[in-house]
Structure 1
């Protein structure tokens, strides 16, 4: 609605009016022209000239465009980290997650090799998981390249731990199918148990938190994944 060129063309009075509108846009969208004039100490004629500069026939059209602009640029309401953690503990830890973590630990303990895979933020945590497992005596590798060659010796008697919030990432699904066909046991950590990745896994650990997005980026908390990975690693350490 307010392009850089348009803002640069504003005179001092128009700049003052623009600043007021931006800082009080929710209120201005429902004001009468006289109310805006009183608040900004400018004449209604100046406001109308300002509207015409924005390619609006009058103040009414300006308010319609302003409401549309606000709707398109509505900010995401991001939950606090406390909310996300509480949600995880309330929804998940009341279920059978501890039993599944124990089952996963036994699967890993019986394997010769552990492979982590994930993409994006899940990829970062997959790398963290591989490092954390290795630190506690279970050497693990992290794969982020879909074309990375995995030697047959590493695939033999292996466990693959896949991380994915949605459980639908095409790269991860393709990679898991290949590894499963080659005999690797699949453990997945996803946000729900009905995803494609969960269904093709030998064991799925779902954590159930509300998915959040901001400007198309998935910003769903990853605290549950860290908890599950660390709990698994510690359980494996006990088994060893």
Structure 2
């Protein structure tokens, strides 16, 4: 990855940009603090260009793609007169007490924003689809895979239809064998993870119902989703896999779980007792 300051690089190559690339560059230079938290679709919409134009802009800068551009931007931003930052709020000079307060605040803020973004209609429709499904498959890669596994762990206590596959190759094979009777729950903070987008595409082609849990209402992933549930955590490009993002995703999964439990109370209660009994011998 190029260690050069991204803004110096933009200025140095500005005259060689196409008109579209200049439009993207101008927006980035004027809205730096906003861009660092934008999805590629958000930036494309803001610049009134296509996603492919953003990708070509990154390629012109000799970068692999949009995510590398955001990482390079994060390295280039240094607040004047402030201590070096470990995240958007936490600095090297913070005491343990200050760290405790800031982490608590960021988690509470993420949960509060997620709560404010909840659409009761979308939650209800998502649970309807899950209830009618023969199979509910949770998908994710990287840190989102850990969230998907947690979702399976929760739902398999009350239903035998929950699935989660670890390997990305096996994930896409599973997606290819889905049908209109199945639900795919795809978890991706950015909505721009290639493996997850490909799974969504294949699952959609197979006829499955797609539920996306993501930060951005518009992203490559949501292009394939029937229902989009938004989490409210802001995660910078150097904070990949933050617990704040996971907490907001788990909050939405908890909401789906308890609504599902309510609507299938008798069967879910029975299944929960059976699964609890099955592992009781594992406990001291």
Q: 2:236 is matched with which residue: 190, 212, 219?
A: 212
Query: Is the partner of 2:187 in helix, strand or coil?
Result: strand
Q: Is the CA contact 2:117–2:232 (under 8 Å) kept in the aligned structure 1?
A: no
Q: Deviations over 1:82-134 (max 9, x none)?
A: 22232234323234434322221111011110111101110001011011111
Alpha-carbon distance, 1:138 to partner: 5.0
Q: Is the CA contact 1:212–1:218 (under 8 Å) kept in the aligned structure 2?
A: no
Alpha-carbon distance, 1:237 to partner: 1.6
- Report the more deviating stretch, 154-163 or 104-113: 154-163
Alpha-carbon distance, 1:213 to partner: 4.5
Q: 1:111 is matched with which residue: 113, 133, 142?
A: 133
- TM-score when normalising by structure 1: 0.63
Higher strand share: 1
Of structures 1 and 2, the larger Rg is shown by: 1
CA distance in 2, matches of 1:122, 1:81: 20
> 2:179 aligned with 1:169, yes or no?
no
Alpha-carbon distance, 1:231 to partner: 1.2
Q: Is the CA contact 1:156–1:183 (under 8 Å) kept in the aligned structure 2?
A: yes
Query: Match for residue 84 of structure 2?
Result: 74
Q: 1:237 is matched with which residue: 232, 241, 261?
A: 261
Alpha-carbon distance, 1:144 to partner: 2.8
Q: 1:190 to 1:95 in 2, by over 3 A?
A: closer
Number of residue equivalences: 169
RMSD: 2.6
Residue pairs, 1:80-159, within 5 angstroms: 80-148=102-170, 149-150=173-174, 154-155=178-179, 157-159=181-183
CA distance in 2, matches of 1:205, 1:152: 23
Structure 2's unaligned 5+ residue stretches are 1-77, 91-98, 265-284
Q: Is the CA contact 1:212–1:220 (under 8 Å) kept in the aligned structure 2?
A: no
> 2:190 aligned with 1:180, yes or no?
no
